[in-house]
Structures are given as C-alpha cells and as structure tokens.
Amino acid sequence: MKTSKRIYIGLLGLSLFLVMLVIVLGYYLVAHRYLFVNKILLIVGIVFMAGAVLLFSFGIIALVLMIKQSRNIPALDHLVKLVNEVLFPLTLVTGKIFGIKRERILKSFIEVNNHIVGLKRLVINNDQIMILLPHCLQNSQCCHKITMDINNCRSCGQCKIGEIKKFAEDNHIILKIATGGTMARKYISENRPRGVIAVACERDLSAGIQDSGMVPVVGVLNCFTKGPCVDTDVDLNLLESAVLTFNKGG
C-alpha cells in the first residue's frame, strides 16, 4: 500500500480501537458503579457491541487484504462498504485528535476507493459511464450557463469544459455539470449509469463517494489555480485513466 492509503487504513483501525476502549470504559462504569442496571440487558448490549467490533475488524482486514493482494473479494464488497460508511466519520475525528490534516485523510480515502474500484475489473460500455463535473471548472467570467445544458458551452478554450465535452462526445460518455450533491444524485437517478467519474475537491468527492450507494465511483481531484470553488482545473489524463478503470478493468 502507498503511504497515502495507509493514512486512511490506519485511521480505520485506530478509530475501531478507540471505540473498543469506549465500550470497555462504559462497561466498567455501568457494571461496577451502577448495579441497578438490568444484568441481562447489560450482557445483551455487550454481546451486540462485541459482535459489531468483530464484524468491523473483519471488514478492515478484508480491505487490507484486497489492497495488499491486488484482488477484489466480491463476497465482502458490502461489508467493506459498511465499514467505510460507519467508520469514515470517526477517522476524521481520530485524525483531528492526532493532528492529521482533514485534506490528507480525504485524499487517502479517495485513493483507497479508486484502488478498490479498479480491483473490481469492471467492463462497462462508455454509454453507461457518467462524468460529473463541478460548475467551478467553468471560467467564472463566462456568460453561457452550462449547468442545465452542457451543449451551451462554446468551447472557447478559456477553461477545460470544451475539451472534456469533446472527449465525452467522441467516446459516447454521458457528461453532466453538477452544482452540488442534490443535483449529482438527480443525474445519477435519471441516467442510471453503471459507473461514475466524479471531479471535485476532497470534501465533495468523499461525500459523493459515500452517497453513491452501490454505483462505483472513481474520484478525480480538481486543482485550485485561483482558490477553492472558482476557475478550478483538472488533469484530462486522469479523466482518461478513470474511463479505462471502467471499460478495461483498471
């Protein structure tokens, strides 16, 4: 695993360990200080929490094995996704406690996600792939509104939208501009792609990946040339690589 992947994987394990400590401390306080608590309920609660910890531990181990062995384990896809959904917020809290910048954690999570999607070796036709772009890629001085219709783009060369539009047309890929998570979900619901390539900043990408359900998402980070959310840029080579992840098995 690359160092960047280790950040997120390590925080997953550390977060689970902290949860275990809280459970043990809670058990001590309840069992030894408040004896009026129903013992049967206490035992049931401890068994349930211990089972959840074991399940999440197994999920983290499965995730590590997939990355180390460069092999997807389809039977464990749902478990790995559950681990990410439940523990991902805790990794941000744990990272903050240990002084790890939020952006580094989010980048690591995105890289882990992209790697796992690549391991699935999916073969998806281009017309079933959707590229979702943020509106901040458009030149901020442009008067042509493209959020509702990408064809309004005049391909003037002042931003990358025109080049991406041509790339999508040449390869028969669905292309949409999203102003936020609600619109992105709407496009996915309407077009029902089998794979999504999302371009955004760390925060929006990680949230979108978490919110995608079972639709595989490859995240591509945009670049801040004039600050966040205005006149951003994206590496077209990364977009092309993301398409290959879906139609040539990564």
Question: Which segments of 100-160 does DSSP mark as H helices, in order?
Answer: 102-119
Instruction: Return the CATH number of the domain spanning residue range 126-247.
Output: 3.40.50
State residue 43's pLDDT score: 74
What angle, 0 to 180 degrees and rounded to 10, lies between the N-to-C axes of helices 102-119 and 236-247? Answer: 40
DSSP letter at 69? H
* Tally of CB atoms within 10 A around 57: 16
Contact predicate 200/110, CB 8 Å = no
State residue 233's pLDDT score: 92
Q: Rounded CA gap, 155 and 166, in Å?
A: 9
DSSP letter at 184? H
Contact predicate 164/176, CB 8 Å = no
Instruction: Provide the 3-class DSSP secondary structure of residue 214.
Output: coil
CA diameter of the chain: 74
State residue 250's pLDDT score: 47
pLDDT by residue, tens only, the chain of 250 residues = 555 899 999 999 999 999 888 887 777 776 666 555 566 666 777 788 888 889 999 999 999 999 998 888 888 888 999 999 999 999 999 999 999 999 999 999 999 999 999 999 899 999 999 999 999 999 889 988 888 888 889 989 889 999 999 999 999 999 999 888 888 999 999 999 999 999 999 999 999 998 888 899 999 999 887 777 888 999 999 999 999 999 865 4
| Assigned token pair, 207 | 């949230």
Contact predicate 6/112, CB 8 Å = no
Domain segments of the chain as ranges: 3-112, 126-247
DSSP bridge partners of 132: 176, 198
CA-CA-CA-CA dihedral for 202, 108, 241, 182, to nearest 10: -30
